[in-house]
A = this chain, B = another copy of it.
Amino acid sequence: MIRFSEKDPYAPIQYSYEVSRILYRGKSKFQDIMVFENPFFGKVLVLDGVVQITERDEFFYHEMLVHVVMNALPNPRKVIVIGGGDGGTVREVLRHKSVEKVYFIEIDEEVINVSKKFFPKVASGMRDKRVEIKCMDGAEFVKGRQGDIDAVIVDSTDIVGFAKSLFTKKFFRAIKKCLTEDGMFVTLSESLHFHREIVAEVQETMKAVFPIVDLYTAPLATYAGNWWSFSVGSKKLDPRVIRRKHKLSTKYYCNGIHASAFLPNEMYQRLLSNKLGW
């Protein structure tokens, strides 16, 4: 059997997948890009040796990255998506009819091209007239913008290498300035199983910038550590509160999941004080 094994130096368990076919191998200015086919997951997108999305289960991640914040906002109209070159995050954002404009900022144009070709259902939103695609550094894009954005969503690769600039206090401050008074910011923040120190660090950095900071999780089979965390920074509104009944047909996210995805306060406090005990 031909197998692909992830090259993730930060994962104490290495994940390995059966490969039925290799569909694409290439090298962009920023990273190695590969697409292969697996009997269970369908097509799999790999960047620098780490699985980013699979046809079968991408919705877990994309739904949870997008719909929590979108449903915690009363009326999100303008959204910035940074990263997520596959297009899944943009696709989910566009499903909210209140959305008038999506700035889609992906540093690596090649990821967009590969996704359009091999993951057309994931990339489907990119042709929507509300989307403006810019291939540039997200940190550069948000610099000095007006406060007219309702949600900023960061869908980067792991918090190492060139994605690091998206987790600094400086970047968070620039995002805060972009946001309307009700605005919210959400970013992936790694696994509570494998990287709880990073999770806590992202929370602390966000707390230095945003008055309200919180954390929710989702079970993701194809990301190392699986128990994946998402960090929210908000200027005024509590992201745990659902302000719009979810009527979209989603597979994992629902209002019941929104409520239970946030850590119980007791566990959240232990995370911050480094007393989780694992």
* A residues whose Cβ falls under 8 Å from a Cβ of B: 3, 5, 12-18, 38-41, 56-57, 59-60, 191-194, 217, 219, 221-222, 225-227, 251-252, 254-257, 259-261, 263-267, 276-278
Contact = CB atoms under 8 A, between A and B. Distances in A.
Contacts of A59: 277-278
B5 A16 contact: yes
Contacts of A259: 260, 264
A191 to B, nearest CB: 8
Given A12-B39, A57-B193, A193-B219, 4 more contacts: A12-B17, A13-B16, A59-B278, A194-B221
Contacts of A57: 193, 278
Nearest to A254: B266
Contacts of A260: 259-261, 264
Contact of A226 (B17, B226, B251, B265): B226
Q: Which of A39, A219, A251, A259 is the most central at the interface, judged by chain B CB atoms within 10 Å of its CB? A: A219
A256 B264 contact: yes
Number of identical protomers: 2
A8 to B, nearest CB: 12
A50 to B, nearest CB: 13
Contacts of A60: 278
A256 B265 contact: yes
A275 to B, nearest CB: 9
A265 B255 CA distance: 11
Contacts of A227: 219, 221, 226
Contacts of A18: 12
A217 B217 CA distance: 13
Contacts of A257: 264, 267
Contacts of A267: 252, 254, 256-257
A278 B251 contact: yes
A56 to B, nearest CB: 6
Contacts of A226: 219, 221, 226-227
A252 B275 CA distance: 11
Contact of A13 (B15, B252, B265): B15
Contact of A256 (B12, B17, B217, B266): B266
